[in-house]
Amino acid sequence: MRVRRVPVGDVALEIAEAGEGGRPFLLVHGFTGAKEDFSPFLDDLAALGWHAVAPDLRGHGGSDQPSGEDAYGFERFAADLVGLADALGWGSFAVLGHSMGGMVVQHLVLAHGARVEMLVLMDTSSGPLDDMDDSLIAHASEIVRDQGMRALLEAQRELDGPLDTPAHMRLLAEQPGYAEFCDGKLLASSPDMWLSMVPKMFVQPDRTDDLRALHVPTLVIAGEQDKPFLGHVERIAGAIPGAELVILSDAGHAPQFENTDAWWHALTSFLDAV
């Protein structure tokens, strides 16, 4: 695996990749995530014949962080991914999108369906997220705007979040360095990106009916403990013709880490079958 920066339009994206010359496969992280959410699996994917690429989205990780909240949005992220595919010389490709990355990938496939050979949507939504606490979001936004991401991290430590599943808490307790890994991704994220995308995720238009027009082999996957997203993934799988739905036991919002063997089996079985 190697890491490099690729110019894409008005930004440069940092990517991790393995298997150049293989079948193109793009793996897209979620909100305040990073390419490291999938980079541990790139060499193994390369061994299976894939050119596996995990980028940091703009405003995340080692990619550029343009200033201003208007520099971020689902369409901008999707356009960056298409530009990255162009820069890599890919005409068409398989793509996995996790959480917010899955929302971005839906925008990509709905606008550029002919370029997507296979689609994996993981712990994500096709519409507004549920149970928005306006006062909590307003308070968090004030913290980010006035004090930055480290202050937000400290504030979050005082709360039990909806993604703090038993599987996530087990990893925090048992896997050395996992807490620092999670904290580091948040701290590397752009405050402007955070401020822009939080409200967009909660008020985005519902795309479920649009997904019914897709004709692409699709796997929809989620951890059984990821309660905020289970209803969403069921709706997505029900909308996309022929989509396969896999719910993984002993996993929450990050099944690739929380139940790696089951996640890897589901992913590679789908890729092999298609």
Q: How confident is the model at residue 172 (pLDDT cuts 50, 70, 90)?
A: very high
Q: Name the strands in the sheet holding 50-55, side by side, starting at the edge strand that comes first in the sequence.
A: 2-8, 11-18, 50-55, 23-28, 93-98, 116-122, 218-223, 244-248
pLDDT tens-digit profile of 22-80?
Answer: 999 999 999 999 999 999 999 999 999 999 999 999 999 999 999 999 999 999 999 99
Percent of the chain at pLDDT > 90 equals: 92
Q: Would you state the pLDDT for residue 64?
A: 98
Instruction: Give the count of beta carbons closer than 10 Å to the beta carbon of residue 244.
Output: 17
Asked if residue 159 has pLDDT above 80, the reply is no
**Tokens of residue 166, six digits:** 């038993």
Q: Would you state the pLDDT for residue 162?
A: 79
Q: Would you state the pLDDT for residue 209?
A: 97
Q: Give dist(CA 27, CA 101) in Å, integer.
A: 9
Region 244-267: mean pLDDT is 98
Q: How confident is the model at residue 166 (pLDDT cuts 50, 70, 90)?
A: very high
pLDDT tens-digit profile of 127-147?
Answer: 998 766 778 888 899 999 999
HSE of 270, CA atoms in CB hemisphere, 13 A: 25
Asked if residue 99 has pLDDT above 90, the reply is yes
Domain of 245, CATH number, reads 3.40.50.1820
Q: How many residues does this entry show for the chain? A: 274
Asked if residue 161 has pLDDT above 90, the reply is no
Domain that includes residue 76, residue range: 2-273
User: What is the total count of domains within the chain?
Assistant: 1
pLDDT tens-digit profile of 110-126?
Answer: 999 999 999 999 999 99
Torsion region of 177: left, alpha or beta (phi above 0 gives left; psi -120 to 50 gives alpha) = left
Q: Would you state the pLDDT for residue 132?
A: 65
* R_g (Cα) of the chain, nearest Å: 17
Angle between helices 191-203 and 149-156 in degrees, nearest 10: 50
Q: What is the pTM of this model?
A: 0.96
**pLDDT: which is higher, 157 or 233:** 233
Q: Would you state the pLDDT for residue 2?
A: 98
Burial 102-135 (b: 16+ CB within 10 A, else e): bbbbbbbbeeeeebbbbbbbbbbbbbebeeeeee
Q: Would you state the pLDDT for residue 225?
A: 98
Q: Give dist(CA 125, CA 166) in Å, integer.
A: 21
